[in-house]
Amino acid sequence: MSGKPSKRALAQLLGRSRFMRAYGFQLVSADDDSCTISMPFRRALERPGGTVNGPALMAAADCAMWMAIKRHIGIEHDAVTAELNTAFLNAARRETVYCTARILKLGKRMIYGTAECHDRRGKLFTHHSVTYARI
């Protein structure tokens, strides 16, 4: 590995990833402590009542963790989601959702972390515990 990828390199990876395009994710920040992405509100992600659907929030958590992991292990190495547990705390209503992921343990085979979806001011929508397996 030639070092940790830059925010720009991670943003380019995210832009190339077809499986993430439907959500409109954008990389907001990436450093050694955390990675934050944004998911702009889209009517396609709205459930009845004007709230962002749960699977979209879970996808944001998974994506933010993927970016955090890539920041630590490099773009050329990979890991896949092994487990994702979600606690829904508040509804996101027709607004941009931010999701911040932090790695708690970077093991040889398993990677453990948390992700939180929130608004611009920090109001929590969801809390996730995430496990990835290196492949």
pLDDT at 1: 44
The pLDDT tens digits along the chain (135 residues) read: 458 999 999 999 999 999 889 999 999 999 999 999 999 999 999 999 899 999 999 999 999 999 999 999 999 999 999 999 999 999 999 999 999 999 999 999 999 999 999 999 999 999 999 999 999
pLDDT at 2: 58
Cα–Cα distance for residue pair 39/117, rounded to 1 Å: 10
Which CATH topology does 7-134 take?
Thiol Ester Dehydrase; Chain A (3.10.129)
Q: Domain spans of the chain? A: 7-134
Cα–Cα distance for residue pair 125/99, rounded to 1 Å: 9
pLDDT at 3: 82
pLDDT at 98: 98
- 8-state DSSP, 19: G
Cα–Cα distance for residue pair 113/117, rounded to 1 Å: 14
